[in-house]
Amino acid sequence: MSESKQDGFKTLGWILNKSESGLFLAVAGEKQQTEIREVYQAGRVGIYDYRQHPERYAFQRLNEWFDSLPTGRTFLIFNFQFAVQGPEDLKRLNFSRDMLAGLGKNLIFFTTGYGDEQLSRGAYDFYSFIKIKIIFPEHEMPMKQEPLDNSEKLLLRAEKIRKELFGEDHPQTGKAYYELACMYQKKGIYTNAEKFYKRALDIRKTVFGENHPDTAACCAGLAFVFGREGKYRDSEELYKRALAVYEIVPGEECRDLVKAYKGLCCIYNRQGRFKESEELLRKAVSVQEKYLGERHLDTLKSYCDLASVCDKTGKYAEAEEFYQKALSAGEEVLGEGSAIMAKCYCGLADVYEGQEQYQTAEEFYKKAFEIEEKALPENYVDRRKCCSSLAQMYKKQGRYQEAEKFYKKIVEIDENSVGKNDMATAGSYYDLAHIYEKQGLYTEAEEWYRKALNFSESVSGEYDPFTISIYHNLAAVCTELGKYTEAERLFEKLLPLCEKIFGEAHDLTAASYRLLFRLYDRTGKPEEVKRISERINIK
């Protein structure tokens, strides 16, 4: 873990342990915010997530939530970038600055890098009251600068020639910009894609006007790029501009219209706005049924997408209906052994598991797994989802031997797909170790916990919550194996980290002290037993 990330967790720990009140800002990617929330939800802190409560910022709404937790001193507000997206939101935030500070609580607002940029530009009053700004660097490795490939060389050459022949603002030059943007988008080089989409859009708006399909294509492309960059408000605006054109002129087989619907659905899904996403997907399905028919592969995929959103909003009957439609069409168009069919079965199983119909869910998970075993390569990442769902469901039911089988498969998939030196693989080692621990197979559990720890310590560092969790579980396993000296050494490292990162009131801190109490009791250290007993009673 980079020094700045370790410092981030240390600072959060300091706020939890030492700060009486204040406004704090934490800048972290959406995935990181989810991980941080999962770490601290076991502590005595209030957690509010704007992804789970999609709405614009209003002090009154947030204050009502504070009032519902009268004994709370520290509150973590996640995905604040969804709540503050426009000038009116920024005005409300600036206006409520003194009210937020006057609450006398620790308020930690989590936002993305783009969200931080918006706050720093438009929420000056709020920003001036921030005591500490914490930055968590993104997980992604910096992109390696690759040499130009042939397609990139040819497109750059075409751009140069067209500029020389036609000038900067000619439609042919705009076409060159658009082709370059599409290429960079496919490569995931979004900064370059954004630059060329903007150039192409300026030309096409001037030459063709706002309501031309070529202009709409630029809007949709730029919207996709903004979405990838986390600029959701800008992305939504551009998708809507594209849809205003495509809904009048759907294009050949309505593909452009449906693609724009689905692009905007992705933006809504990332913000937890599933109701709006569902409305758009219903439109997409309606258009595809009209133009392509119910048995078309693209319609089938849309049935799956709509079913997934219905599942997320608790509309299980409709989710089941659309998955069954997809399966019916898939059997006719693709046959039983298609990877898409496996995805449908897995989605349908999710629906049944969400309703605690585990027997039916298991049946469909197994169908999906059997298809994937035959249809997909051993290291294919899509196989992981089904294995993970089965493993977690079996674990939840206490069927640990069956869960073990699938956790082993996940380890194989991760080692073959991302390699042994990856945090995802370390996570699968941890899960396998935990299932061994649940079965009382402590020797096997120790082996896999140490594999996870070796990588986590070297890459993430000892202040990472994942590393701390491994210390805790490994100490427990060593205690059960009678390796008391090693267990005590781990506790000496573990407890200061728990208190520093999670705070004294966190569940993991309390559980660690209880484990240490048991260790001292077993090893006949009455003075230490008394000391820990008094601490547990106090805390």
Q: Binning pLDDT at 50, 70 and 90, where does residue 143 land? A: very low
263 & 155 share domain: yes
| Residue 187 forms part of a structural domain | yes
262 & 171 share domain: yes
| Euclidean distance between CA atoms 227 and 224, whole angstroms | 5
Global pTM value:
0.84
Instruction: Report the pLDDT value the prediction gives residue 539, as an integer from 0 to 100.
Output: 43
Phi and psi torsions of 135, nearest 5°: -115, 120
154 & 246 share domain: yes
User: CA distances (Å), 249 to each of 277, 311, 408, 483, in order?
Assistant: 22, 32, 51, 72
155 & 93 share domain: no
Answer yes or no: are the C-beta atoms of 147 and 175 closer than 8 Å.
no
Phi and psi torsions of 246, nearest 5°: -65, -30
Q: Is 339 exposed, middle or buried (0-12, 13-18, 19+ CB in 10 A)?
A: middle
Q: Helix or strand or coil: residue 42?
A: coil
Q: What angle do CA 365, 354, 78 make, to 5 degrees?
A: 115
| Euclidean distance between CA atoms 14 and 20, whole angstroms | 11
Share of the chain above pLDDT 70, in %: 94
Q: Chain-wide mean pLDDT for the chain?
A: 91
| Residue 47 forms part of a structural domain | yes
Instruction: Report the pLDDT value the prediction gives residue 4, as an integer from 0 to 100.
Output: 66
| Residue 374 forms part of a structural domain | no
Instruction: Report the pLDDT value the prediction gives residue 163, as an integer from 0 to 100.
Output: 77
| Euclidean distance between CA atoms 98 and 95, whole angstroms | 8
Res. 376: pLDDT tops 80: no
Instruction: Report the pLDDT value the prediction gives residue 381, as an integer from 0 to 100.
Output: 64
**Domain boundary residue among 109, 134, 159?**
109
Answer yes or no: are the C-beta atoms of 349 and 318 closer than 8 Å.
no
Cβ neighbours around 483 below 10 Å, total: 17
* Residues 358-373: tens digit of each pLDDT: 999 999 999 999 998 8
Distant-in-sequence, close-in-space partners of 92: CB < 8 Å, separation ≥ 6: 56, 57, 58, 59
Amino acid at 224: F
For residue 162, give the CATH number of its domain: 1.25.40.10
Phi and psi torsions of 163, nearest 5°: -65, -40
Q: Helix or strand or coil: residue 111?
A: strand
Tokens standing for residue 14: 């300091």
168 & 254 share domain: yes
| Residue 92 forms part of a structural domain | yes
96 & 168 share domain: no
| Residue 72 forms part of a structural domain | yes
Q: What angle do CA 311, 379, 369 make, to 5 degrees?
A: 45
In three-state form (DSSP H/G/I as H, E/B as E, the rest C), the secondary structure along 243-307 is: HHHHCCCCCHHHHHHHHHHHHHHHHHHHCCCHHHHHHHHHHHHHHHHHHCCCCCHHHHHHHHHHH
155 & 266 share domain: yes
Tokens standing for residue 526: 């009455």
105 & 172 share domain: no
Chain centroid, CA 453 distance in Å: 23
Of 13, 120, 125, nearest to 59 by C-alpha is 125
**Is the dihedral angle over the CA atoms 297, 299, 302, 303 positive or is it negative?**
negative
| Euclidean distance between CA atoms 233 and 117, whole angstroms | 13
Tokens standing for residue 139: 């997980």
First to last CA, the chain: 30
Tokens standing for residue 436: 């061994």
Answer yes or no: are the C-beta atoms of 178 and 197 closer than 8 Å.
yes
Cβ neighbours around 440 below 10 Å, total: 10
95 & 165 share domain: no
| Euclidean distance between CA atoms 339 and 382, whole angstroms | 9
Amino acid at 464: D
The domain tally of the chain equals 2
157 & 105 share domain: no
Res. 217: pLDDT tops 90: yes
Q: Which helix (H) or strand (E) holds 22?
A: strand 22-27
**Domain boundary residue among 53, 84, 109?**
109
| Core vs surface per residue 448-457: b (16+ CB within 10 A) or e | bbebbbebbb
| Residue 81 forms part of a structural domain | yes
Answer yes or no: are the C-beta atoms of 393 and 407 closer than 8 Å.
no
* Residues 298-327: tens digit of each pLDDT: 999 999 999 999 999 899 999 999 999 999
Share of the chain above pLDDT 90, in %: 76
Res. 390: pLDDT tops 90: yes
pLDDT average, residue stretch 394-423: 90
pLDDT average, residue stretch 40-62: 92
Q: Whole domain around residue 73: which residue ranges? A: 23-109
Answer yes or no: are the C-beta atoms of 271 and 82 closer than 8 Å.
yes
| Residue 57 forms part of a structural domain | yes
| Residue 305 forms part of a structural domain | no
Q: Binning pLDDT at 50, 70 and 90, where does residue 44 land? A: confident
Instruction: Report the pLDDT value the prediction gives residue 537, as an integer from 0 to 100.
Output: 66
Answer yes or no: are the C-beta atoms of 149 and 16 closer than 8 Å.
no
| Euclidean distance between CA atoms 529 and 309, whole angstroms | 52
Higher pLDDT, 461 or 241: 241
85 & 197 share domain: no
Instruction: Report the pLDDT value the prediction gives residue 140, as an integer from 0 to 100.
Output: 44
**Domain boundary residue among 251, 271, 291?**
271
Answer yes or no: are the C-beta atoms of 381 and 413 closer than 8 Å.
yes
174 & 255 share domain: yes
User: Which residue is listed with tokens 């209906």?
Assistant: 321
pLDDT average, residue stretch 254-282: 94
pLDDT average, residue stretch 276-280: 96
| Euclidean distance between CA atoms 125 and 119, whole angstroms | 10
Res. 141: pLDDT tops 50: no
Q: How many residues are present in the chain?
A: 539
